[in-house]
Amino acid sequence: MNPRQLHSEHYLKALIVVLSMYVGSFVYLELTTVKKEELLSDEGLYEIALEEITPEEKEELREQMEMQQQNTDLRSVARDVNDTRPASYDNWSAQTGASSQGDPEQAARDYEAEVFAQTGGAAARERIIQESNKRITQLKQQGQTPQTTNTTGSAQPNQYAGAVMVDFSVSKRTAFEGNTWYVRNPGYTCGFNAAGLVHVQIEVNAAGKVSVATYIAAKSKNASACMIEQALKYAKLSRFSPGEGSATGWISYKFEAQ
């Protein structure tokens, strides 16, 4: 092989090596660039998604999360929205103020007799009896027996901080005997798949009894005929503190599917 031919072969090999290195470098750089572009694209989309959420929307999301948390702690009790006591999830009482002079245990029995007479159905009556026994037990634990009455005028320390099944408000009135137990809950009386909200406008007479109860559709949600009927019935059974003349207000009932 002559020197000229040998030189040509060396030149060709060198050229192949250089081209291989160039192609390899090009492929590597291209792959790296594509990967970076994908990462930047993902990051960009994520940043845009965050930027699109306004402070108002963030606050709404936070409230929705809090509401979901509260719903997990839903209790079958009533709450006066005008109650100014501190709120607590653990140390709370339905007693918003002291009972008036008299026999609170007998008052509870008399009220249960009225509710029992006006509420139909064996299941409903059994539930009323259980609630009555529970209430009377609470009265005895608080020392409010026929021999002992509370005349101090002092309220229990806290109201419940979580979600409740009954909210109410009556102008210049409170629940009878200072206890929201007298604003009863029909939230489990409509059976399975009965979930909704019923808003009832009420008028309370001087004796503290509900004289007028009106269903307000605009402030209700997913209300069935059973829910409306039960809400109106239980609203008429509610008892509030007596006062001069009549007073207006409302009761909001939350029904839960069983």
The CATH number for 82's domain is: 3.30.2420
Same-domain status, 170 and 239 = yes
Measuring CA to CA, which residue among 80, 108, 109 is closest to residue 92?
80
Same-domain status, 148 and 103 = yes
pLDDT at 191: 84
Same-domain status, 203 and 82 = yes
Average pLDDT score over residue span 24-28: 66
Q: Would 67 be classed as within a structural domain? A: no
Residue whose structure tokens are 């936070």: 62
> Which one is predicted more confidently, 201 or 39?
201
Average pLDDT score over residue span 26-40: 54
Domain final residue, candidates 130, 154, 178: 154
Same-domain status, 85 and 176 = yes
Determine how many CB atoms are found less than 10 A away from the CB of residue 249: 21
Cα separation values, 248 from 39, 105, 208, 217, Å: 62, 28, 11, 18
Same-domain status, 115 and 217 = no
83-126 tens-digit pLDDT: 999 998 888 888 876 555 455 555 555 556 556 565 555 556 56
pLDDT at 95: 84
Measuring CA to CA, which residue among 194, 189, 191, 212 is closest to residue 202?
212
Global pTM value: 0.57
Same-domain status, 256 and 131 = no
Same-domain status, 135 and 168 = no
Q: Would 58 be classed as within a structural domain? A: no
Q: Would 61 be classed as within a structural domain? A: no
Same-domain status, 117 and 136 = yes
Q: Would 254 be classed as within a structural domain? A: yes
Q: Would 66 be classed as within a structural domain? A: no
Q: Would 16 be classed as within a structural domain? A: yes
154 pLDDT more than 50: no
Q: Would 69 be classed as within a structural domain? A: no
Range of the domain at 230: 78-92+163-258
Same-domain status, 251 and 177 = yes
Same-domain status, 137 and 178 = no
Measuring CA to CA, which residue among 4, 203, 186, 230 is closest to residue 78?
186
Q: Would 222 be classed as within a structural domain? A: yes
Question: Regarding beta strands 196-204 and 164-170, do their DSSP bridges make them parallel or antiparallel, or are they unpaired?
Answer: unpaired
- Amino acid present at 98: A
Total domains present in the chain? 3
* Out of 78-82, 150-154, 170-174, 242-246, least confident range: 150-154
Domain final residue, candidates 154, 173, 198: 154
Same-domain status, 87 and 143 = no
Strand partners, 78: 166
Same-domain status, 82 and 9 = no
Q: Which long-range contacts (CB under 8 A, 24 or more apart) does 42-48 make?
A: none
212-254 tens-digit pLDDT: 999 999 999 999 999 999 999 999 999 999 999 999 999 999 9
